[in-house]
Structures are given as structure tokens and as C-alpha cells.
Chain A
């Protein structure tokens, strides 16, 4: 079964601390993984995708096929990073994005 699991509903850290938002997936094949973010009073939007191997707003995520994980990381959290983060998966050739349940990141001053 295709599934995306985000084990933490809430992650609270202090400003300047490292952040790791966990994402594990279940998929029989080669998936494409993404992170979406929703800031307060804004719409859900794409943050980054694994195929781009990009860093957006200081966040990076590496696809680990052995551990079936796609954790989102940032070395030094900022207050403006506080938001709801969703991990998503898409099978190759599929039109369907499968979302995890989301993790709320709270960065305290």
C-alpha cells in the first residue's frame, strides 16, 4: 500500500536550534517525494522536491531509499519557519499525490 507517515504532530524548537521533520513512506517502486508547507494565513505550497536536490529557505531533504525516509532538515531554525509541513509521495507516471498527516513546526524565540 502507498502510504506517507509523519510520526510527529507537533515539533517545538527554539530559534537557532536544528530541525528535523520526519517522513517515512511505503511504496513498491520508485517514488517521487515532496515537501509542502502552509504558513499561517497562507495557502499550502510546494517547498521542495527530492529530484531537484535543492535547498529552499535553508531546508534540505534527502531521499533514503534504504530507510524509506525523506526527512526535512534545517540547521538553524528561524521563527518564520513556524508552519504546517506535509510530506507527499507520487508514484512514477502517476497523477496522484499522496500526503502525510502533517507536522506542525513551532519555533520559539
Chain B
């Protein structure tokens, strides 16, 4: 079945450092890919998405490119802030089940220190 694999955390960075969180997927067909962010004590917020190969999603300085050849959707940000500390989930839409179901990675905790 479809699956998403994220790099294990926690990831600890200093403010203004470059961020990469790796995400690879296994899927039949061409799913949409998403990054969601969850701040402490809150629900999930959509960070960005891409719906087809070579699409780049971007929002709030974060970017991710849908790479079909490497089945990846890595999240990047050039300069992180303390306020970016959160859990980041990579997800794909499960086309095979025809339910709109999202398949999530395990989540990566990011901690940014001043």
C-alpha cells in the first residue's frame, strides 16, 4: 500500500539556519503531496501542497518540490525562526482507496533555538 517516510527527529537548529526535512513516498498513481505543521497544543495547519510532478509548493518561506523520479517531497526553508518550532507532517492523498484518505508520515519535530 501507499506510504510516507520522513526523517526521524527531533531536528534542532539555531535561528537563521537552513532547514531540510526529508520526505519520500511510495504510491500507485500520482497522488497530491502535502506538508502540514502542528504547533504545540494545536491542530494541523496546511503549510503547502503540490498536485503533480515538478510542482513547487511554497508558503511562509517554506518550499517543497514534487519529485516523481526520486519519489520525494523534501521541505526546505532558508532561514528558520524560533516560531517555526513545531511538528511537521508529510502526507499524500490515497488515490487507491478512492476515499480522500490522507496517509501521513510519522512527523518530524523541529526545535529552533535562539
A binds B: no
Give the A-binding residues of B (Cβ under 8 A): none
